[in-house]
Amino acid sequence: MVAAEKAVTYEICEERIYASLSGSGEVAFNIFLSINNTGSETIEIFNFSLDLTDIADLTLTNLSVPVYDYWLESRRYDTVLHIETSILPGEIANLSLNFTTKQGILNVGEYSQFLFNTKLDADVEKFSFEIWLPKGCFLYTENVNPIYPKPTSNFTDGERLVFRWEDENLPAGTAKIFVVYYSGNQPSSNVLIAPFPVYLSSSTSWVILTLTAAAGITAVIAVALVYLKRRRERKGVTDTVFLLLSDSEKEILKLLSASKDKMMTQKEIQDATGYSKAKVSVTVSMLERKGLVEKKAKGRTRIVKLKRRIEI
């Protein structure tokens, strides 16, 4: 995710990403970077790439080093932020950037999908990613695993669900992907949904904490267990579920559907889509987790086969 223009040696002491989702489909990002120049060359241009192509209202704050200028370079599948700075050998630079995007949220009927992925181009000592769902929203579990991967922790501020992932000592090349399905439709406007306990791995049930106001009482907190019906047996994948997939997932499924014997190698997918090797690998893994494809090893070749009938 981060790259320096010169051939210098550096590492990321800490990378924190906060994503605040709104009900209108906009995402506000805040990203904090702590960059350690471990080489002997001064870093004058620092490049930070984002797997987004729709970025607006960008601001950058220099917390410890000078920032002379910064600008965006839009590419086919991502955007690169070029930062003109001066990070001396042995110096740690702390930078913070904020921006908004309408990319990443897909609204379909009564539920929505948020998807964000990134690849680390440098070693990262501490990594964290935090998602704030829109007010009044809860996890949507019908026919999908509502959240991936399993979060390290979660909490609520009384109005919004917050999910947090934390990791340490990630090597360069690590690909991270985060997916959350959620819904905001409520039977009553005075009911708030919040997580309790931290996380349920089963997609067939959830627990909600209902908060409601009562006469003469500031707040009455009632804890209720709500068990959903088991997922219906399905012969194929409905159009609605297909719409909830990311663009890269859809493109790969379309390729597989049109291919001979409904299978392709990962290299063939990479050539056909123009995606990087890492992006193909991550996307195929997500499709495999959702039960839509399966991977088979044939020598040193990875073959991806369509597992279910897709109605596109």
Same domain, 93 and 170: yes
Quote the CA–CA distance of 115 and 224 in Å, as a whole number: 29
* Per-position pLDDT tens, the chain of length 312: 555 444 568 899 999 999 999 988 899 999 999 999 998 999 999 998 888 889 999 999 988 999 999 999 998 888 999 999 999 999 999 999 999 999 999 887 778 999 998 888 789 999 999 999 998 898 888 877 889 999 999 988 888 999 999 999 999 889 899 999 998 864 333 333 333 333 333 333 333 333 333 333 233 223 322 333 333 344 444 444 555 577 788 888 889 988 888 899 999 999 998 888 888 888 888 888 777 888 888 888 889 998 866 655
pLDDT on residue 166: 96
Cβ 158 vs Cβ 46: under 8 Å: no
Same domain, 268 and 170: no
* Burial classification of residue 43, based on how many CB atoms lie within 10 Å of its CB (0-12 exposed, 13-18 middle, 19 or more buried): buried
Same domain, 48 and 154: yes
Size of the chain in residues: 312
Query: 202-206 long-range contacts, Cβ below 8 Å, gap at least 24?
Result: 203/141, 203/144, 203/145, 203/146, 203/231, 204/141, 204/228, 204/229, 204/230, 204/231, 205/141, 206/138, 206/139, 206/141, 206/146
Sequential DSSP letters for 98-112: EEEES-SEEEETTEE
Cβ 85 vs Cβ 66: under 8 Å: yes
Cβ 163 vs Cβ 104: under 8 Å: no
Q: Which residue has the tokens 């620092």?
A: 46
Same domain, 156 and 288: no
In a domain, 262, yes or no: yes
Nearest partner of 3 among 153, 101, 121, 136, judged by Cα: 121
pLDDT on residue 162: 94
pLDDT on residue 96: 94
In a domain, 221, yes or no: no
Same domain, 69 and 164: yes
Q: Which residue has the tokens 């193909």?
A: 280
Same domain, 157 and 8: yes
Same domain, 241 and 170: no
- Collapsing DSSP to helix, strand or coil, 171 comes out as coil
* Cα 294–chain centre separation: 22
Same domain, 157 and 299: no
Q: What is the CATH number of the domain that holds 154?
A: 2.60.40.1730
Residue 254 token pair: 């379309």
Same domain, 50 and 170: yes
Same domain, 154 and 43: yes
Same domain, 301 and 165: no
pLDDT on residue 300: 81
In a domain, 250, yes or no: yes
In a domain, 79, yes or no: yes
In a domain, 196, yes or no: no
What's the structural domain count of the chain? 2
In a domain, 91, yes or no: yes
In a domain, 202, yes or no: no
Helices (H) and strands (E) in the chain, counts: 4, 23
In a domain, 94, yes or no: yes
User: What is the side-by-side order of every strand in the sheet holding 67-74?
Assistant: 2-4, 43-50, 79-87, 67-74
pLDDT on residue 28: 96
**Domain carrying residue 287:** 236-310
Q: Provide the terminal-to-terminal Cα distance of the chain, rounded to the nearest Å.
A: 33
Same domain, 76 and 165: yes
Nearest partner of 178 among 168, 189, 167, 187, judged by Cα: 167
Q: What is the CATH number of the domain that holds 245?
A: 1.10.10.10
Residue 298 token pair: 């044939």
